[in-house]
Structure 1
Amino acid sequence: MSSGCPPQSPAVAKTEVAVDGACPLLAATFAYWDNILGPRVRHIWAPRGPPALAVQLGDGDITFLANHTLNGEILRSAESGAVDVKFFVLSEKGVVIVSLIFDGELKGDRNTCALSVILPQAELGFYLPLHAICVDRLKHSIRKGRIWMQKGYNIVSVLTSEIIPIMELLSSMKTHSVPEDIDIKDTVLHDDDIGDSCHEDFLHKAISSHLQTCGCSMVVGSNPDKVNKIVRTLCLFLTPTERRCSRLCKSDGSFSYDTGLFVQGLLKDSTGSFVLPFRQVLYSPYPTTHIDVDVNTVKQMPPCHEHVYTQRRYMRAELGALWKAAGEDDVLPDTVIHTDETFTPDLNIFQDVMHKDTLVMGFLDEVFLLKPGLSLRSTYLAQFLLLLHRKALTLLKYIEDETQKGKKPFRSLRSLKTDLDLTSEGDLNIIMALAEKLKSGLHSFVFGKPFYTSVQERDVLMGF
Structure 2
Amino acid sequence: MSSGTPQSPTVAKTEVTVEGECPILAATFAYWDNIVGPRVCHIWAPRCEQPMLLSDGEVTFLANHTLNGEILRSAECSAVDVKFFVLAEKGVIIISLIFDGELKGDKNTCALSIILPQTELSFYLPLHMVCVERLKHIIRKGRIWMQKGYNIISVLSSEIVPIMELLSSMKTHSVPEDIDIKDTILNDDDIGDSCHEDFLHKAISSHLQTCGCSMVVGSNPDKVNKIVRTLCLFLTPAERKCSRFCKADSTFKYDTGLFVQGLLKDSMGSFVVPFRQVLYSPYPTTHIDVDINTVKQMPPCHEHTYIQRRYMRSELSVLWKAASEEDIAPNTDTGIHTDESFTPDLNVFQDVMHKDTLVKSFIDEVFMLKPGLNLRSTYLAQFLLILHRKALTLLKYIEDETQKGKKPFHSLHSLKTDLDLMVEGDLNIIMALAEKQRAGLHSFVFGKQFYTSVQERDVLMSF
Secondary structure of the residue that 2:169 maps to in structure 1? helix
The answer to whether the aligner puts 1:285 opposite 2:282 as a matched pair is yes
Q: CA deviation at 1:329?
A: 1.9
**Aligned twin of 2:107:** 110
The answer to whether the aligner puts 1:68 opposite 2:91 as a matched pair is no
CA distance in 2, matches of 1:411, 1:196: 46
Q: CA deviation at 1:253?
A: 1.1
CA distance in 1, matches of 2:449, 2:378: 42
Which is further off, 347-356 or 451-460?
451-460
Matches within 5 A, 1:406-445: 406-445=405-444
Q: CA deviation at 1:276?
A: 1.2
Deviation digits for residues 319-358 of structure 1 (CA, Å, limit 9, x no counterpart): 0011111111223332221222221000000000000000
Matches within 5 A, 1:38-77: 38-52=37-51, 56-77=53-74
Deviation digits for residues 276-309 of structure 1 (CA, Å, limit 9, x no counterpart): 1100000000000000000000000000000000
CA contact (8 A) 1:22 1:52 kept: no
Q: CA deviation at 1:10?
A: 4.1
CA distance in 1, matches of 2:75, 2:8: 27
Secondary structure of the residue that 2:270 maps to in structure 1? coil
**Aligned twin of 1:32:** 31
Q: CA deviation at 1:387?
A: 0.2
Matches within 5 A, 1:269-308: 269-308=266-305
CA distance in 2, matches of 1:39, 1:111: 10
Deviation digits for residues 216-264 of structure 1 (CA, Å, limit 9, x no counterpart): 0000000000000000000000000000000000011110000000000
The answer to whether the aligner puts 1:262 opposite 2:281 as a matched pair is no
CA distance in 2, matches of 1:291, 1:99: 36
Secondary structure of the residue that 1:47 maps to in structure 2? strand
CA distance in 1, matches of 2:396, 2:296: 31
CA contact (8 A) 1:14 1:44 kept: yes
CA contact (8 A) 2:298 2:350 kept: yes
Matches within 5 A, 1:93-132: 93-132=90-129
CA contact (8 A) 1:105 1:149 kept: yes
The answer to whether the aligner puts 1:241 opposite 2:234 as a matched pair is no
CA contact (8 A) 2:5 2:57 kept: yes
**Aligned twin of 2:315:** 318
**Aligned twin of 1:169:** 166
Task: Let me know the Cα RMSD of the aligned residues.
Answer: 0.9
CA contact (8 A) 2:94 2:114 kept: yes
CA distance in 1, matches of 2:317, 2:57: 38
Pairs aligned (count):
461
Task: Report the residue type matching 1:343 in the other structure.
Answer: F
**Aligned twin of 1:253:** 250
Deviation digits for residues 111-164 of structure 1 (CA, Å, limit 9, x no counterpart): 000000000000000000000000000000000000000001110000000000
**Aligned twin of 1:340:** 339
Unaligned residue ranges in structure 2 (runs of 5+): none
Task: Report the residue type matching 2:56 in the other structure.
Answer: D
Matches within 5 A, 1:177-216: 177-216=174-213
Q: CA deviation at 1:450?
A: 4.6
**Aligned twin of 2:370:** 371
Secondary structure of the residue that 2:107 maps to in structure 1? strand
Q: CA deviation at 1:460?
A: 1.1
**Aligned twin of 2:387:** 388
Secondary structure of the residue that 2:97 maps to in structure 1? strand
CA distance in 2, matches of 1:52, 1:235: 33
CA distance in 1, matches of 2:136, 2:335: 20
Matches within 5 A, 1:221-236: 221-236=218-233
CA distance in 2, matches of 1:125, 1:83: 24
Secondary structure of the residue that 1:156 maps to in structure 2? helix
Q: CA deviation at 1:401?
A: 0.4
**Aligned twin of 2:353:** 354
Unaligned residue ranges in structure 1 (runs of 5+): none
Task: Report the residue type matching 2:424 in the other structure.
Answer: E
CA distance in 2, matches of 1:355, 1:95: 48
CA distance in 2, matches of 1:136, 1:388: 28
- Call closer, same or farther: CA 1:64–1:206 in 2, change over 3 Å: same
Secondary structure of the residue that 1:195 maps to in structure 2? helix
CA contact (8 A) 1:2 1:58 kept: no
CA contact (8 A) 1:102 1:114 kept: yes
CA contact (8 A) 1:216 1:261 kept: yes
CA contact (8 A) 2:22 2:48 kept: no
CA distance in 1, matches of 2:35, 2:149: 20
